[in-house]
Chain A
């Protein structure tokens, strides 16, 4: 019973990171038809920004404050790079969806190449408060604090995003744009600004996801290819959830996290099955597509 509860908790924390990575991707695709390969880059850059600031500039601060600076740095770095990507690379290619995908692939290749050249291919260790590696004990349960942080971040972003999309003017424009972009434009709304906004939002969440991925699942290590690894799972979550659907992303992230963690725990220790968690996620994707080719929540936001 305890094992089951522990396992569920860590699966949910993993899901939270997947959700943060996938929701921006899903919004960008839903609104703009852009499959954003640079999303992995935004995650990696978020983690590197946090690493750089917390090891150099603000390392004299107290550990919790330093970590808070890192979180902020990851969010801002992701948002700024994403915003510039939209303005400089995506915008000139409106109406050419394949070229937009290609340009994000090129950006990802080039920037990861730069990171490899500048920081080397080895992982760097991020200074984080020791508290994160301790666990909170509830009766017989011991729940890692890092998982709590991921979970809280995921829930806060989910609630915030739902509020933003339903209650604010720009959120409503974005939702309408996902439904029917041309109609929104015909009504005299500047959809272009919404495009930039969606990229900034997605980039911010990606930066946060990149940092949390490092802290929660990679033992506080930062590496140039970490974002691209996470991106694959974000893609899978987006397709299972249905392109453009935030709720779909949330549900699919839970599903993927649980399937991956449970299959890893129960089957991964057998010889030759170390990758069973990853493989079962792909199998899940194939099954969902057989059953519902448009994903669980395809077509609605």
Chain B
């Protein structure tokens, strides 16, 4: 079997296993992130669903960052747009689910095209800064609570009376929301694969490698970059919709702040930008660790540690930031890069194997 067939099979098996998790009532000590040590406990399912959501968002972000080579610091703008437009349409305006989905899609699309067109006038670092500025403007706007739409810092709880019964925010629905999040991740995975394997996808990689050359070949990089920006934005907004269905409340600090942008970036870099599965793995590790470390820090035995150890260890942000620094310094290409290097090493040990160029 080719490596590609292998990874496809592995992916299908993993998705099938995760799909069965809500049915598994096993008791497992230590490793679960929730307070109840049962595999299909609500807490565990919620954390895993968050892993799926951010796995999808990270994959979408990587289309822009890893494949097209554009460092955007504004994915949160579109994630937040997904969260808030959907929430406002259902809660404030009392629209139906279909109408709310449609308006979220249209608003995201227009916003991505307009902001993308402005930000893509500059390249490289300036692009990063401009997207950051837009994201910050979005944050201020949401926090400001214009016309009492967003609820400001207090947040906006999702009114579930317009939702189908299986999706409404009741705790017993965590299972269906878990599956919804898994479907979202699979859908994003398929769309991203299809796009990247198409001719457009190859142009995106070419833009990353050498934009001038793409221009010389008679193609306009701007359009391709805008397409990548828009696709990645739509995926982020989709993640936002699933997020608000799962969590039930939109708060600016959680869904619109720069911290979320940096988290997404950390996920992608931990996992390995520009690889098929890296960003998803990075998102899983990041989200899982973040929840798990909080659980560990809440253990009673933890309080007996001396302050020198307790203070840093009780801050997931510190641990994840430090882990991120170590990865940037010592593990280029993240998990995916490490796996590729290990595979190349094993291959080079076999004397008969043909010389391959190996990923770096």
Chain A residues in contact with chain B, CB under 8 A?
29, 33, 35, 89, 92-93, 96, 98-99, 101-103, 105-114, 116-118, 228, 232, 235-236, 238-239, 243, 272-275, 278-279, 282, 285-286, 289-290, 293-295
Contact = CB atoms under 8 A, between A and B. Distances in A.
B125 interface: yes
Given A101-B125, A239-B133, 17 more contacts: A89-B325, A98-B71, A101-B128, A102-B328, A103-B329, A105-B265, A107-B321, A109-B324, A113-B321, A114-B315, A117-B315, A232-B132, A232-B136, A239-B129, A274-B144, A279-B137, A289-B122
B125 A236 contact: no
A108 B325 CA distance: 10
Nearest to A110: B321
Contacts, number: 132
Nearest to B314: A117
B130 interface: yes
Q: Which of A33, A274, A290, A295 has the most CB of B within 10 A?
A: A274
Nearest to A284: B133
Contacts of A290: 118, 121
Contacts of A289: 118, 121-122, 126, 130
B125 A29 contact: yes
A112 B141 CA distance: 25
Contacts of B321: 106-113
Nearest to A98: B71
Question: Which secondary structure characterizes the binding site on chain A?
Answer: helix
A116 B141 CA distance: 26
A108 B317 CA distance: 10
B19 interface: no
Interface residues of B, number: 42
Question: Which secondary structure characterizes the binding site on chain B?
Answer: helix
A243 B126 contact: yes
B312 A278 contact: no
B65 to A, nearest CB: 9
Interface of B: 71, 118, 121-122, 125-126, 128-130, 132-134, 136-137, 140-141, 143-147, 258, 262, 265-266, 269, 311-312, 314-322, 324-325, 328-329, 332
Contacts of A29: 125
B141 A293 contact: no
Given A29-B125, A236-B133, A289-B122, A110 B325 contact: yes
B136 A282 contact: yes
B134 to A, nearest CB: 7
A291 to B, nearest CB: 10
A273 to B, nearest CB: 8
